[in-house]
Chain A
Amino acid sequence: MHARTLAWGGRRRSRLVVAVALAGAAIGLGIPGGTAPGDAADRFVAGGPTSERAPLRPEEAGPVLAAAGAARVRLGLPLPAAVRVDRVTDRLDGTTYDEVVASDAAGRSLHLQRFDERRRLVGAVSFGWQVAGGRPLADASSARARSVGLANALDLGVLGAPDVRPEPDGTGWTVAWPRVVDGIPVLGDGVRVDLWPDGRVHAVVRAERPLATRPAQVLDETTARQRATETLGDLFGRRAGQVAVSGVSLGWVAPNDAFDPTAPDAPGSTLRLAWVVEARTVGELADGLRAVKLFLDAGTGALLGGDVLR
């Protein structure tokens, strides 16, 4: 027994020596330790689930259910027979929210609501595709007025006139307030209200991702355009003559792996200020590719990612 204890102790020492040696080598080689956002062990991998969920403890669930009850009334959603509350970690967006899924007596999912850590409503959807209902809203102005009233009642923090778009085949309306910070659009963020034709709520989304510190110096538009032209030349090589810059504007963007398949599959969860350059294709290149977007760091001009329109 004594010998065995000594043997275990010896193994422990050996493991410690190996661990110290590995740590020293890692530090020497500059390999980062710990987990950083986007590099966590549970990072999103394409083909895998976007989220993880775990039931909330009763003492945590209570305030969330209270918020859901109040919001449900304002949203005009039916009273459920049962609810389930989970804390959801969204690996794709890098966010965490509490989700309340309501079901009827038959166990069918009626609707869901999502709340952020401040118990603000960040998402809701009424299931069942309820196109048929009461008298349809007369026009886009009616859809806008209905959505403004709803957004105010839900304290969604909207300002200004929203964009209003009809859904296909008269299946409702989409009303959106894109997020703008100090006059600069935050791409993908904002508030959106989807209505059924008669004005009942189909869905509500509020996206408000964190922003990085604004660079001390921002490249001017001329310099950004020049950097973009150079980058397009690098990307398109001998076909660069078939792609031309069609728009340059500042925007807050999520860095992504659009042109770097070795980068993480999920976009960055903290948005950065960038020059967003859209370039359209012409000629035979346009047969398979309509446009690209480049995200150039507003301070350095470095490529942060982009987008592709096939």
Chain B
Amino acid sequence: MSPGRWTRKIAVLLALMALAAVAAGPARAAYQATVDVNVSAFSFDCLTINDAYPGKMRAAAVAGFTNLGFATTSYTGAVFTRAHVLARTKADWGYYVHSHGDHYYYSPDGKRYAGFKEDAGLCTGARTVYSKEIAAVRAGRQSNLVIMSTCHLGETNTTMPEAFAIPKVRAAAGSWAGPNFYLGYLGEAWDSDEFAFETRFWSALGPGLGVGQAFDVAKLGSFNVGFAANWYGSYAWTGRAGPLPSGCTRCL
């Protein structure tokens, strides 16, 4: 083979590598994900011990979003405030929170909305972040992957998916609700169950399995009696960051 042909081959190879780098790196990095984890109410600052679960779930969520191509940043302690959540949410394509969650009474409207507690470094008296407030800031903006690692926010009356413009449908078996997925829990969910479920979910995502299949695989574990998770969105989505319909070609 002549030196000229070698040079051309190397040039083509370099060009392909550059294209791949552009596609896999900076383009994906445009899609922001936020991981907020409440630790203060159960830490040395407030009690006499440190709870190990939040840190582990935080590590799993950061790795999970990053592996899916999101530009992921995590916040905990004093910087995880209601104001911080509402300031970042407009640009979030992915969002994860581990905190105290419920359907909280919102007095201005005289009704309940799904919500969760900020951390803010407070032992008690943390403020609630309501789905209504998130919805107002996001104003219908599309999101990708939203995980509420809290009690109650996977229940059928949750108002949180719509706040992130995720329709409360389970699109499966040939249907499509866009490149999005919402995951939450029913009733009271213990940390050990949330940790085991989420760890298996993140680990299952990747080549060959989409978010819905990862949800199914995550359920194949040991949990406390009564633990239950729920989802909305598209079963056959890859989980990859971005607005394009990156359907999983190997998913049912």
Contacts and interface: CB of A to CB of B under 8 A. Distances in A.
A174 B219 CA distance: 11
Residue picked from A202, A288, A307, most chain B C-beta under 10 Å: A288
B151 A290 contact: yes
Interface stretch (A23-31, A34-42, A54-62, A129-137): A129-137
B128 to A, nearest CB: 9
Interface stretch (B5-13, B17-25, B78-86, B187-195): B187-195
Interface in A95-131: 103, 106-110, 112, 114, 123, 125, 127-131
Q: Is the interface of B mostly helix, strand, loop or mixed?
A: loop
B250 A109 contact: yes
Interface string A33-52: 00000000000011111110
B165 interface: no
Interface in B86-127: 98-101, 117, 124-126
A256 B155 CA distance: 28
A128 B235 CA distance: 8
A2 interface: no
B38 A288 contact: yes
A128 B42 contact: no
Contact of A50 (B172, B192, B199): B199
Nearest to A202: B216
B48 A284 contact: no
Interface stretch (B26-34, B135-143, B223-231, B237-245): B223-231
Interface stretch (A63-71, A142-150, A221-229, A235-243): A235-243
A92 B192 CA distance: 12
B68 interface: no
A258 B53 contact: yes
Contact of A174 (B56, B228, B230): B228
Interface string B58-71: 01101100000000
Contact of B200 (A92, A163, A174, A310): A92
Nearest to A126: B216
Interface residues of A, number: 70
Nearest to B169: A169
Given A168-B156, A203-B219, A132 B173 contact: yes
A254 B196 CA distance: 13
A214 to B, nearest CB: 20
Residue picked from B56, B190, B222, most chain A C-beta under 10 Å: B222
Contacts of B219: 125, 194, 203, 205
Interface stretch (A4-12, A151-159, A259-267): A259-267
A203 B220 contact: yes
Contacts of B15: none
A218 interface: no
A308 interface: yes
B220 A310 contact: no
A202 B252 CA distance: 14
Contacts of A123: 220
B151 A259 contact: no
A128 B100 contact: no
A187 to B, nearest CB: 7
A289 B98 CA distance: 12
Contact of A108 (B52, B55, B250): B250
B60 A46 contact: yes
B192 A307 contact: yes
Interface in A137-195: 163, 165, 167-169, 171, 174, 176, 178, 187-189, 194
A258 B191 contact: yes
Given A46-B56, A178-B225, A288 B216 contact: no
Nearest to A271: B222
A130 B66 CA distance: 30
A309 B46 contact: no
A267 to B, nearest CB: 7
Contacts of B191: 258, 307-310
B123 to A, nearest CB: 8
A261 B192 contact: no
Given A108-B252, A188-B223, 14 more contacts: A51-B203, A125-B219, A129-B212, A176-B225, A194-B219, A265-B52, A265-B56, A287-B41, A287-B126, A289-B42, A307-B191, A307-B192, A310-B41, A310-B101
Interface of B: 38, 41-42, 46-53, 55-57, 59-60, 62-63, 98-101, 117, 124-126, 150-151, 154-156, 170, 172-173, 186, 188-192, 195-196, 199-200, 203, 208-209, 212-213, 216-217, 219-226, 228, 230, 235, 249-252
11 contacts: A109-B208, A123-B220, A168-B156, A168-B186, A168-B230, A205-B220, A263-B52, A287-B100, A288-B100, A288-B124, A310-B99
Interface of A: 45-51, 92-93, 103, 106-110, 112, 114, 123, 125, 127-132, 163, 165, 167-169, 171, 174, 176, 178, 187-189, 194, 202-203, 205, 207, 209, 234-237, 239, 254, 256-261, 263, 265, 267, 284-285, 287-291, 293, 307-310
Q: Which 8 A-B pairs have the closest CB atoms?
A: A129-B172, A128-B252, A188-B222, A47-B59, A288-B41, A46-B56, A47-B63, A284-B124
